[in-house]
Amino acid sequence: MTSVGSHPTETGRRDVVLAAREVAKHFPIKEGVLQRVAGHVKAVDGVSFEIRRGQTLGLVGESGCGKTTLGRVVAGLSEPTAGAVLFDIDSETLAAYDGGSSVGDIETAHKVDALTGDAYRRFRRNCQMVFQDSFASLNPRHLTIDIVGRPLRVHKEASGSGLTERVVELLEQVGLGRQHLYRYPHQFSGGQRQRISIARALALDPELIVLDEPTSALDVSVQAQILNLLHELQQANDLTYLFITHDLGVVRHMADHIVVMYLGTVAESGPTSAIFENQHHPYTKALLGASPDVDAAEEFTGLEGSVPDPAHPPQGCRFHTRCPVATARCGWEVDDVVRWIEDEPGAAGRLAGVKRDSAFAAELAFDDAATAAVVVDAIRSGRIHASMPEAVLKAESRDSRVDVEFGAVPDVELSVRGPGHVAACVHESLLDL
Amino acid sequence: MTESTMPIASIRDLRIHFRSKAGVVHAVDGVSFDIRRGETLGLVGETGCGKSVTARSLLRLNPMPPGIHAGGTVEFRGAGELPVELTGVDESTLRAIRGNRIAMIFQDPGKALNPGLTVREQIAEVFYQHRADELLDDIGLTDRAGLVRTLIAREASLRSRWIERGLLRVPPLRAHRAALRRAVDDRVTDALAETQIPNPRAVMDRYPHELSGGMRQRVMIAQALACNPDLLIADEPTTALDVTVQARILDLINDLQRRHDTAVLYISHDLSLVRRVCDRVVVMYAGKIVETGPTEDLFANPSHPYTRGLLAAIPSASHQRGALAAIEGTVPELVDPDPGCRFATRCGFATPMCETTDPGLAPVAADHEVACFIHHPVPGGVGPAYEKAAT
Amino acid sequence: MVDIPHKLPAVAPSTESALRVRLRRVRELSASVLANPTTVLGFVLIVAMISMAVFAPLITEANTPDPYQMPRDWGALNEPPGTDGFLLGTTNTGGDVFYGVVWGARTSLRLSLIVVGITVLVGVLVGSVAGFRGGKFDEILMRLVDVFLSIPELIFALAIAAVLGPSFGNIILALAVVFWVKYARIMRAQVLHVKANEYVDSARIIGDSGWNIYRRDVFPNAITPIIVQATMDMGHIVLVGATLSFIGLAEAGLAEWGVLVSEGQAGISAGRWWASTFPGLMVFLWALAFNLVGDGLRDVLDPRTETAR
């Protein structure tokens, strides 16, 4: 690569390229004529990780888990509601920050949404992004040379024939060439457009590239080309990747370290081999079980139910509503009973009202006493979930009303399962389950 | 052949072309295969290979124009019925087959379901359309003659006019109409219950946007299977779904298929899914079939360089990072294509003769056919070989 | 959707340059606009009528002192078309219909250019700021737009012009006040739509400024519906202007088609059809021509057909 230009970077030597600390992003839900805030969608709700120089961190999860929102926060496209994204920081400083010392100073120097002036420009140059939809991420009215040359123009690194030569160099790095300079995006195939996006991301010689599902819209044969290219570029330019994807095969191939997200939080995180060989979270296990491997003919299985509403995430462990190995300690709550009632042919439509004292205690009012009795019986007998009777403190019917109370359970915290391997599950291990 | 061993559908030398600004695109160019009774046949290939166009020709869903039926036949043999040549039948015959004998589920249930209709209305329409007589049976009106029967029959087949609908609101007709509604509701409930939707009675009154992606897909399956079709076309039915939901939906399709002995044409770009779901596989590339065979045999001995390339391109644990076997280049243009093998431009084993002569499908094992000179006796020349290219 | 494989153009020659590619693009676009015969018809009509407006002083001698006032010949009232010196006849006050038709084109061109110019400028500016910045300004603007849109535009313009008093200048002012809202609304919607594209995020990621992003990414991709609408409105505004003039909101005796139609209508029952028909026909042709071209532009400028995605 050619010279870095007129803005010498100080970055490049610190070992942690990016660290997220308890990052949250909540979107207000507005209602009515007055656009009153009626609640928040907790798209990302307290996520921490760090990406070391030259490594690839895979961020995995299904739709609605918050991975894309988190990617946008990391790339500085939107500001976190809480928490901090720290850029280019060494391990010692990060340890000090985690320990709570000189937090203010460290944030001034490293926190992305607090950076100003040159420091912000340095971050902007060094953190680039490639999106899933190669069509939407290239301005349809711009030629390749404008698109790839734009970062160089913005940061005044090149102009005129120098710019053209630099763009040709970048295009050659991604497997395109001079003949593609004066074409519009729609004249390329999907794979070629994604190469152009990558060339643009490379233009400023960045340290970190956020790759948001970069190959999900491509055919496998083309995906393989792009994955190979990304690997080559990482080797050649000492790049660090945050690789966001739903495809476990791809992430296994590309990532050194994996963060599995569910409903805005981290379910499990660890080195790729640990995640694939020894899962400590049932969600990770379910994801793996559901992703068929072409080499093996083993059966694959899925999960019951669908992802809960992120505006009202479940108590305790957020996965407990779909978890095949949920226990009494996983956060059974009033909503679990309500959800069961809605799906139960004999009881649906007979729930007249819910008076909540907390997420764990409420008074349910029914149209008739019989339904109330059925619900109480379902809670006590374990028909709703086998572990529910153990979690319930009180389930009594008074005519057509039911008082129900569960033992309050705190959110399940991440606990250490191995070197660099953490999981948020009440089970010590999933091996004998 | 007896009826039970005859294929449910036979596509022969099908050619569908599309007019475009650049010329005539040969999207499907001489495709022949059979769908056997009760089997799951996978139609695999990448974007633009013509798999969807081929499948849609079974329901004549390709827009014409710009599409052109440039040749070939699609013969369908419904259970206990005479064979029908689908490319030539009239609209009314086709309507009687669509949604009834051949049904289709799409990739995006959000688009395939009408957002303005409740689940009940979407599914009820299928029964009104194809099962009006049975509905009359259900409410015991079959043997009755006269006005009542006529009016209710017209209502049941969605043919009543406003004045008749007005009459139907007056007793005693109102009672019959209510009975008809109940009969349809029962059938809709049964159809939904088949897809393991919890509490179908409650789901019936919801609109598609109120349901999750997985639920919407179940509703679409319920709708497609409502009339117990002989053939179900599933066009990437799980691509828009999360993986944890995908497995359930595939299990469901599989289960329903077994119980009703439905043949499934499963269209997908995902080989690892096809391997699990299908009995036989047809691999398409650039408008032609390159390989076809029983799933096990095809995955154990992939014989066409393209099939091999596709399998090798899937990232897996065994690959060194950065060393995926990508197929270089892009799909060739299908405007006035060259006469040779369409894969020749991207094939690592291609010889000059591959560019000028179309290899055509020929058997390599029982039921397993490949369109490649590596496996064929070569007409007067030296063909390509895997060993040669390896050195 | 039918998955037709991607069309890749042949390898570009090495003499290629950005300028050439863009010029070729302009040529291709204009060629596809002109491929539609009805668009060509509209285009020819527009050129003819604008030429008539521009060269009015050469076609008929300008009236003095005010060329926009109809010349009156009190000695030649109600002359039928073809009368010597009065190609299209005269009105019941001796006005030369031909003069009115020719100079009326000039009046109409002036009206439509000024009104469209002002409303597009204001509308695009307001809509852009509202859509791109959002926030309080956006909310206030949208409420204002709601109010404007709940009153029929003709009645609104009529009320304003009536309050300001009868003059052609006031008609222009009234139309400008009414019409900018439409552009503001279209532009705002377009900006919001374009802003959601990832190429805007991509531009932010490389650190480009808000103004540059607006100028290079948002504006060029948002403006096409405005161009189409403005073309259509060039015709529509003359129609509305003529209506206002017809009911007497312009100065009497103005060389304007609506005024002329109004002057001539009394004679229709007496068989003097010409004084209303010719200017009426002009209004119709003017509106038709711009509509035809606007439709043609919409087909070509629609990004979906443009990029053949």
Question: What is the full per-residue pLDDT of chain A (433 aa) written as tens digits?
Answer: 333 333 434 555 788 999 999 999 999 888 776 678 888 888 999 999 999 999 999 999 988 889 999 999 999 999 999 999 999 998 888 999 988 888 888 888 899 888 888 889 999 999 999 999 988 999 998 999 999 999 999 998 888 888 999 999 999 999 998 889 999 998 888 889 999 999 999 999 999 999 999 998 888 888 999 999 999 999 999 999 999 999 888 999 999 999 999 999 999 999 999 999 889 999 998 888 887 776 665 666 778 777 888 888 899 999 998 888 888 888 899 988 888 888 787 777 788 888 888 889 888 888 888 888 888 888 888 888 888 888 888 888 888 888 989 988 888 889 899 899 999 998 888 876 6
> Taking phi first (over 0 means left), then psi (-120 to 50 degrees means alpha), and beta for anything else, what does residue A210 get?
beta
Q: Give the N- to C-terminal CA distance of chain A in Å, as an integer.
A: 52
Rounded to an integer, what distance in angstroms lies between the CA atom of residue C121 and that of residue B195? 57
In what helix (H) or strand (E) does residue A69 lie, and over which residues does it extend?
Answer: helix A67-74
Using the Cβ of B318 and the Cβ atoms of chain C, whether some distance falls under 8 Å is answered with: no
Judge whether B85 and B74 are in contact, CB under 8 Å: yes
Mean pLDDT, chain B, rounded, equals 83
Cα separation values, B268 from A109, A132, A211, B42, C176, Å:
50, 20, 25, 7, 56
Enumerate residues 174 to 193 of chain A having a beta carbon within 8 A of any beta carbon in chain B: 189-192
Question: Which residues in chain B have their CB less than 8 angstroms from residue A300's CB?
Answer: 247, 276
Q: Specify the pLDDT at position C122.
A: 94
Average pLDDT, chain C: 84
Would you state the pLDDT for residue C223?
A: 92
Residue B220, pLDDT score: 86
| B81-85, B188-192, C209-213: range with lowest mean pLDDT | B81-85
B5 at A interface, C-beta within 8 A:
no
pLDDT score at B1: 52
CA distances from C200 to A103, B215, C101, C103 (A): 34, 34, 49, 48
User: Rounded to whole angstroms, how far apart are CA atoms B123 and B107?
Assistant: 18
Mean pLDDT of B188-200: 82
pLDDT tens track for B228-285: 888 999 998 888 778 888 888 888 888 888 888 889 999 998 888 888 889 999 999 9
Fold match between domain A16-255 and domain A334-406: no
CB pair distance less than 8 Å for B330 and C2:
no
Number of C-beta neighbours around residue A345 at 10 A: 13
- Helix or strand holding residue A338 (H, E): helix A334-343
Neighboring chain C residues of A179 at a CB cutoff of 8 Å: 11-12, 14, 16
- Tokens representing B143 are 């043997």
Question: Could you give the CA distance from residue A113 to residue A20 in angstroms, rounded to a whole number?
Answer: 12
Strands B263-268 and B40-44: parallel
- Which residue spans within B22-160 are E strands per DSSP? 23-35, 40-44, 67-76, 84-85, 102-105
SS (H, E, C) A164-180: HHHHHHHHHHCCCCHHH
Q: Which one, of A193, A162, A159, lies nearest residue A176 by Cα?
A: A193
CA angle B214, B219, B225 (to 5 degrees): 125
Distance from CA of B22 to the nearest CA of C (A): 8
Q: Give strand pairing partners of A27.
A: A41
Q: Predicted ipTM?
A: 0.83
A211-244 pLDDT, tens digit each: 999 998 888 888 999 999 999 999 999 999 999 9
Give per-residue pLDDT as tens, B46-75: 888 889 999 988 888 888 878 888 888 888
Can you tell me the distance from the alpha carbon of C207 to that of C157, in angstroms, rounded to the nearest whole number? 45
> What pLDDT digit, counting tens, does each position of A23-64 carry?
999 998 887 766 788 888 889 999 999 999 999 999 999 888
The answer to whether B134 touches B183, Cβ cutoff 8 Å, is no
Q: Please list, in sequence order, all residues whose beta carbon lies within 8 angstroms of the beta carbon of residue A262, skipping any fewer than 6 positions away.
A: A61, A62, A65, A283, A318, A319
Nearest to B245 among A221, A297, A302 (CB): A302
What fold, for A334-406? Gyrase A; domain 2 (3.30.1360)
CA distance B217 to chain A (A): 13
> Could you give the dihedral angle defined by the CA atoms of residues C123, C129, C134 and C136, in that order, rounded to the nearest 10 degrees?
-80
| Token pair 């505004």 in the structure block, residue | C237
Backbone angles phi, psi at A148, to 5 degrees: -75, -30
Distance between CA atoms of residues B275 and B297, nearest Å: 11
Nearest residue in C to B55, CA atom: C2
Residue contact B25–C6, C-beta within 8 A:
no
Residue A237 burial (C-beta neighbours within 10 Å; 0-12, 13-18, 19+): middle
8 A C-beta contact, residue B371 and residue B286: no
**Alpha-carbon torsion (A350, A355, A356, A362), positive or negative:** negative
A249 touches chain B (CB under 8 A): yes
C-alpha pair distances (Å), C276 with each of A43, C258, C259:
67, 9, 9
Q: What is the DSSP letter of C215?
A: I
| From C17, C212, C221, residue closest to A141, measured CB to CB | C221
The amino acid that residue B348 corresponds to is G
CA distance linking residue C252 with residue C229, whole number of Å: 31
Does A292 contact B at CB distance below 8 Å?
A: yes
pLDDT in tens, C137-158: 888 888 888 888 888 888 888 8
Identify the CA nearest to C97 among candidates C239, C243, C272.
Answer: C272
Query: According to DSSP H, which parts of B195-242 are helical?
Result: 200-203, 213-225
Among A189, A222, A342, beta carbon nearest to B202: A342
Chain B residues close to C308, C-beta within 8 Å: 21
Can you tell me the mean pLDDT for C196-224? Answer: 92
Alpha-carbon span A374 to C78, nearest angstrom: 95
B6-22 average pLDDT score? 88
Instruction: Please provide residue B183's backbone torsions phi and psi, each rounded to the nearest 5 degrees.
Output: -60, -45
CB contact at 8 A, A148 and A204 = no
Is residue A37 classed as helix, strand or coil in its secondary structure?
strand
**Does C309 contact B at CB distance below 8 Å?**
no
**Residues A302, B46: C-beta atoms closer than 8 Å:** no
- Banded model confidence at residue B390, pLDDT cuts 50, 70, 90: very low
The CA distance from A392 to C20, in Å, is 75
A120, A303, A350, B61, C246 from A382: Cα distances, Å: 56, 20, 21, 50, 82
Q: Residue B61: what are its φ and ψ, rounded to 5°?
A: -95, -5
Inter-chain CB proximity B326 and A252 less than 8 Å = no
CATH of region A16-255, choose from 3.40.710.10, 1.20.1730.10, 1.10.1370.30, 3.40.50.300: 3.40.50.300
**Burial environment of residue C189 by CB neighbours within 10 A (0 to 12, 13 to 18, 19 or more):** middle
Going from the C-alpha of A70 to that of each of A107, A110, A214, A358, B168, the distances in angstroms are 19, 18, 16, 29, 58
From the list B331, B372, B326, B329, the residue with the least C-alpha distance to B353 is B372
| Domain boundaries, given as residue ranges, for chain A | 16-255, 334-406
